[in-house]
């Protein structure tokens, strides 16, 4: 076993199994590369040491121009490379939406299947944490879901590593989120080529009374709440989607068919967020199995304040989740 920093980009860059057609060069040593602001020094901790290990041809600092380097990555991917783009601040993705939404996410369809865009976007320190204020506290994954971009938000180190490798090997754009509240945690992960498939959820705690769908850093919160409720006779199943798009509808359905109740615990906006999509699936496709209305525990539809008390008031919390669980079983 090896110890990996949560979301460390220490994948096997020279893995020849990644190779597909390339129009630029048969040299696979340049096939996968990382680019972004200050990735050479690893400001966010995700690329630390990669420059020394792989050299400047594989680890590229960029100007502060998200539209520019994301567009560059799209072109490189279309020509056979597999670029890994790190956004130093995750909300700066808004500067590059045209390049992602109108270009990378659509070129495969627009070319009649002739072009693939295998680019991976990494979003470090996403979400609210310790007063990051309105412009640096979003989890912009719901925006990417609306655009049809494959999106993963792992909660555990082994899933983070396995999903990152899978994302880089995927032939379509994939967004990988590294939530601020859990980035930096260390854990054992398997040696070698550990792959976690996209579109497969994970049950972290078995239960029979309520299914709690928890996303990213909220998984550990949900597991703790489930343990406390178990002492009071309430059996909670904690289900982690891992991949938000494609969503594991079959896995979620199996859980809800068993428990008959559904609560979604998600740190994105309530309106048109990921929780709303899961709730709609539950209400439309699983209604015959539900014994109570679906409940959502999300962040409020407001910009996050610099004030720590106001920040906390806007975010989903353990006590709110406990209240939602009690509401569906009473």
What is the C-alpha to C-alpha distance for residues 308 and 315, in angstroms, rounded to an integer? 11
- Which stretches of the chain are assigned E, i.e. beta strand? 2-5, 32-36, 59-61, 82-86, 120-126, 150-152, 174-179, 186-189, 202-205, 210-214, 236-240, 243-245, 262-269, 295-299
Q: What is the rounded distance in angstroms from the CA atom of residue 63 to the CA atom of residue 144?
A: 24
* Residue appearing with tokens 């808004």: 94
Q: Is 27 exposed, middle or buried (0-12, 13-18, 19+ CB in 10 A)?
A: exposed
Rounded to whole angstroms, the Cα distance separating 76 from 30 reads 11
Is 86 annotated as catalytic? no
Measuring CA to CA, which residue among 194, 207, 135 is closest to residue 11? 194
The answer to whether 277 is a known catalytic residue is no
Which candidate in 8, 37, 40, 66 is catalytic? 66
- Could you say which DSSP state residue 25 is in? -
Token pair in block for residue 22: 């390339």
- 8, 37, 40, 136: the active-site residue: 136
Tokens of 260: 């008959």
Structure tokens at 20: 């597909």
On the 0-12 / 13-18 / 19+ scale of CB atoms within 10 A, 253 is middle
Task: For residue 225, give the nearest of 323, 318, 328, 298 by alpha carbon.
Answer: 318
Indicate the DSSP class of residue 288: G
Are the beta carbons of 137 and 311 closer than 8 angstroms? Answer: yes
Nearest to 32 by CA among 158, 91, 119: 119
> Could you list the active site residues?
66, 136
């Amino acid at each position: 076993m090896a110890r990996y920093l949560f979301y460390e980009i220490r994948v096997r860059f020279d893995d020849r199994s990644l190779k597909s057609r390339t129009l630029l060069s048969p040299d696979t040593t340049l096939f996968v590369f990382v680019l972004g602001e200050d990735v050479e020094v690893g400001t966010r901790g995700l690329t630390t040491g990669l420059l020394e290990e792989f050299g400047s041809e594989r680890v590229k600092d960029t100007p502060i121009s998200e539209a520019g380097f994301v567009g560059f990555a799209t072109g490189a991917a279309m020509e056979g490379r597999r670029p890994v783009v790190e956004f130093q601040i995750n909300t700066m993705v808004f500067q590059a939406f045209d390049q992602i939404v109108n270009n990378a996410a659509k070129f495969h369809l627009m070319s009649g299947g002739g072009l693939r865009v295998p680019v991976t976007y990494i979003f470090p320190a996403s979400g609210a944490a310790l007063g990051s204020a309105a412009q640096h506290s979003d989890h912009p994954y719901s925006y990417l879901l609306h655009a049809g971009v494959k999106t993963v938000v792992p909660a555990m180190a082994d899933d983070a590593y396995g999903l990152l490798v899978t994302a880089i090997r995927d032939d379509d754009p994939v967004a990988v989120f590294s939530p601020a509240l859990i980035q930096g945690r260390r854990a054992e992960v398997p040696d070698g080529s550990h792959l976690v498939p996209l579109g497969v959820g994970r049950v972290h705690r078995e239960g029979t009374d309520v299914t709690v769908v928890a996303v990213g850093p909220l998984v550990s919160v949900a597991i703790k709440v489930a343990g406390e409720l178990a002492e009071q006779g309430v059996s909670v199943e904690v289900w982690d989607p891992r991949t938000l798009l494609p969503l594991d509808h079959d896995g979620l359905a199996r859980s809800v068919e068993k428990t008959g109740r559904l609560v979604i615990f998600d740190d994105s906006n309530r309106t048109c967020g990921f929780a709303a999509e899961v709730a709609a699936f539950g209400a439309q496709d699983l209604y015959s199995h539900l014994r109570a209305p679906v409940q959502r525990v999300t962040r409020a539809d407001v910009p996050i304040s610099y004030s720590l008390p106001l920040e906390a008031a806007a975010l989903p919390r353990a006590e709110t989740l406990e209240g939602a669980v009690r509401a569906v079983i009473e």
